[in-house]
Amino acid sequence: MGVDLGTTYSCVGVLKNGTVQILCNDQGFRTTPSTVTFVRDLSITGDASVLSITGDASVALQKPAANTVFDAKRLMGLKFKDVAPSDLKRWPFRVEPDVFGKARIMVSLEDEEKAFSPEQISSMVLTKMRKTARAYVCSPITNAVLTVPAYFNGSQRQATKDAGGMAGLNVLRIIDEPVAAAIAYGLDKRGGAGKNILVYDLGGGTLDVALLTIEDRKFEVKATAGDRHLGGEDFDDRIVEFCMRDFRRKNPEKNITDAVALRRLRTQCERAKRTLSSSVQATIEIASFYEGIDYSCSLSRACFEELCMDYFCKSIGLVESCLRDAGMDKENVHDVVLVGGSTYIPKVKGNDPRVLQRQGAQQLHQP
């Protein structure tokens, strides 16, 4: 199997009958949240983990914020001193150094705390991906190919491989995500040596831009750029802030501090963002949002784009930086590959004829 182990979402595919099939999980989704929730001696991974802290699932959690771990990929292979202070303030769980100075995650379980390495958390996500693949092929899965960002150093790549080993996988190869995206679109088989490909990967938590060149069906990464804190979650934050201001305007005496209420709001804001990719208007509705008060508001695509305009402009600056580092003009780019769920946003996708749409990827896969 092949796994894109993402910061916020992961997906899995298998090679069957000469073609790659991207699989749906047990909830029917092609992407699975890279989130793990601990309840006593159990660990809940993926969609069930997210649902359990939004009030939409029947799982009774103790201290759900402290029990739920996400963004483990940001800690893979890092020393504690290298972890971004902004992340340490944002996460509901604690991160502290182990005896070797590496970052470890502290999870509160009833009256005790347990320590997990980022690799252990990622291995739980990979185990979930493995179960999805096994259910599809109806046979054991042992071999895997994993993808990592192009900027990952040797320690981070080894940590990813270690996570695969903990999940019982034989990791055959670690592939740079931009290269994996180009291969997925079959660009190495389309001919034209010396073609330049810009891969724009805007996911849930990070933006990665890479410029590749094809020579003899081999990819060479010419330059990379990106922001490890720019992605779909940041767009969600802007919508949440918009809704919080709107709620306080309508209910000036209320100050929302409840973590579950905020999580429910965030979930609805994310759904509204997805709706705006195909519609010009979305409605956010939450029954008994806070202290029995219902909340609803409308969000237009134009309003959403205005809320996030600085992020869109920043991403363009990173593309320009990547081109400068490669010593190349945008006219020399033959294809643009969009990767990541956030590239469904119309403002991001644009209408450049060089942009390869996802619908075309499946056609390129055909033998």
Distance CA 202, CA 208 (A): 7
**Closest to 181 measured CA to CA, from 11, 296, 302, 315:** 11
Distance CA 4, CA 201 (A): 12
> Is 310 noted as a catalytic residue in this protein?
no
> Is 250 noted as a catalytic residue in this protein?
no
The residue from 47, 119, 162, 201 that is catalytic is 201
Q: Tokens 């709706």 sit at which residue?
A: 275
The residue from 71, 162, 177, 234 that is catalytic is 177
User: Residue 214 pairs with which residues in a beta bridge?
Assistant: 219
The residue from 4, 162, 236, 270 that is catalytic is 4
> Is 4 noted as a catalytic residue in this protein?
yes
The residue from 47, 71, 73, 119 that is catalytic is 73
> Is 237 noted as a catalytic residue in this protein?
no
Phi, psi of 299 (to 5 degrees): -135, 125
Distance CA 197, CA 333 (A): 6
Cα maximum dimension of the chain: 66
What are the residue numbers of the active site?
4, 73, 177, 201
